[in-house]
Amino acid sequence: MDSNDVSADLAHVLYTKDQIQDKIAEMAAAIDKDYEGRDILVVGVLKGAVMVMADLSRALHSHVTMDWMAVSSYGSGTTSSGVVRILKDLDTDLMGKHVLIVEDIIDSGLTLSWLKSNLESRGPASVEICTLLRKPEAAKVEIDVKYVGFDCPNEFVVGYGLDFAEKYRNLDFIGTLAPHVYN
């Protein structure tokens, strides 16, 4: 193995590439059915949602437009600060649009709770959430989430868009990190 091989940093694989792709296809089918006859504005939350956005949007058959937001609620560590800042806003006027927020993970729920209210205040026809992962045990606020891929254990996870110190986003699976990475 290459001494810089990323797999040496992983403790467990939680969701394989195939499991993720099957789940994305399942969510896309449910979304197509629910939005039949309506265009969807999918809003990806940078940076973590890049992989889900890329795969989910390609799996959808509905007419889709795409936009991106960047918000910050985490510092350099692994716990949410609860303070959300907009780093990049949408380019799209939401008035009358069916908005589907796409996320990689809902942990405490603080980011999405804030973001959903923020987008709802802009006059859209509807705002729903699609997330690949949710940590039920970590929830600090209740949010209505229409599409959830996996309810995952309350551990810090990486891969498929999710980072630790900006690394591991490029993995095509999701896993937990070995203790030596944190030390």
Ligand X SMILES: Nc1nc2[nH]cnc2c(=O)[nH]1
Instruction: Confirm whether 104 is a catalytic residue.
Output: no
| The one segment of 23-31, 106-114, 121-129, 175-183 that binds ligand PRP by CB under 6 A | 106-114
> How many Å separate Cα 65 from the centre of its chain?
17
Which residue in the set 48, 124, 149, 175 belongs to the binding site for ligand PRP (CB under 6 A)? Answer: 48
Positions that interact with ligand X (CB under 6 A) = 74, 105, 107, 156-158, 162-164
Q: How far is residue 59's CA from residue 25's CA, in Å, rounded to a whole number?
A: 6
Report the C-alpha gap between 33 and 27 in whole angstroms.
Answer: 10
Residues 59 and 181: beta-carbon distance below 8 Å: no
Smallest separation (angstroms) from ligand X to the CB of 63? 31
Residue from 10, 43, 45, 53 binding ligand PRP (CB under 6 A): 45
Residue 107 is a binding residue for ligand PRP (CB under 6 A) = yes
Strand order in the sheet with 64-74: 80-88, 64-74, 40-46, 98-106, 126-134, 147-151
* Min separation Cβ 76 and ligand X, Å: 12
* Listed residue (51, 42, 95) closest to 69, CA to CA: 42
Closer residue to ligand X, CB minimum distance, 124 or 161? 161
Q: Does residue 152 sit in helix, strand or coil?
A: coil
Query: Could you tell me the smallest distance in angstroms from the CB atom of residue 138 to ligand X?
Result: 8
* Site for ligand PRP, rule CB under 6 A: 45-48, 72-74, 80, 103-112, 163
Active site members: 107
